[in-house]
């Protein structure tokens, strides 16, 4: 695990030269999973990396413009992700597959394409 330490300010009023450090623990309780997106004409495919997660503990909820994923790990950290969609979807048609620690969400687009006849 890597922890980052950044100096964010020095208190000028303080007569001592003590510096104030902000300690950023890189693995807080809740983190966003690493995510990749691929878009097709009909759907958005979201791949979420969820290591140390059991399939039974993954919670995916879908709305017309938003998909939410909550997945607690066996290491005490919880993956949380909210995917805001730039298009409407059919929430009941969103599919999810969990394989090799990766959650693949297929989010179909509700957009219909029409060929316009030129008169």
Partner 1 sequence: MGLSEDIAIVETKKIDIESPIIIEGVPDIGLVGSIAVSHMVLENKFEEVGYIKSDLLPPVMVIHERKVLNPIRIFQKGKILAILAEIPVDPKLGFLLSKRLVDWYKEKGAELVISISGTPVQERIDIDDPIVFGTSNKEELLNKMEEIGVQILEEGFISGFYALILKNCIELGINSSVLLSQSYPSYPDPGAAASILKTINKMIDINIDVKQLIDQAQEVKINYRALMEQTNASMQKETKVEIPTMYR
Asked if residue 116 binds partner 1 (CB under 8 A), the reply is: no
Among 77, 25, 26, smallest CA distance to 53 is for: 77
Q: How does DSSP assign 73-106, residue by residue?
A: BTTS-EEEEEEE-SS-B-GGG-EEEEETTEEEEE
- Residue 101 binds partner 1 (CB under 8 A): yes
The contact mask relative to partner 1 for 14-53 (x = CB under 8 A, - = no) is: ------------xx---x--xxx-x--------x-x-xx-
Whole-angstrom Cα distance, residue 5 to residue 64?
40
- Residues binding partner 1 (CB under 8 A): 1-7, 26-27, 31, 34-36, 38, 47, 49, 51-52, 73, 75, 77, 99-102, 104
């Amino acid at each position: 695990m890597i922890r980052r330490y950044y100096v964010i300010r020095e208190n000028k009023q303080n007569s001592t030269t003590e510096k104030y450090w902000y300690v950023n623990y890189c693995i807080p309780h809740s983190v966003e999973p690493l995510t990749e997106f691929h878009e097709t004409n009909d759907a958005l495919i979201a791949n979420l990396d969820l290591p140390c997660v059991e399939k039974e503990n993954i919670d995916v909820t879908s709305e017309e413009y938003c998909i939410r994923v909550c997945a607690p790990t066996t290491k005490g950290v919880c993956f949380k992700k909210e995917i805001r969609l730039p298009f409407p979807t059919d929430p009941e048609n969103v599919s999810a597959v969990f394989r090799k620690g990766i959650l693949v969400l297929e989010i179909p687009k509700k957009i219909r394409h029409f060929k316009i006849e030129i008169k």
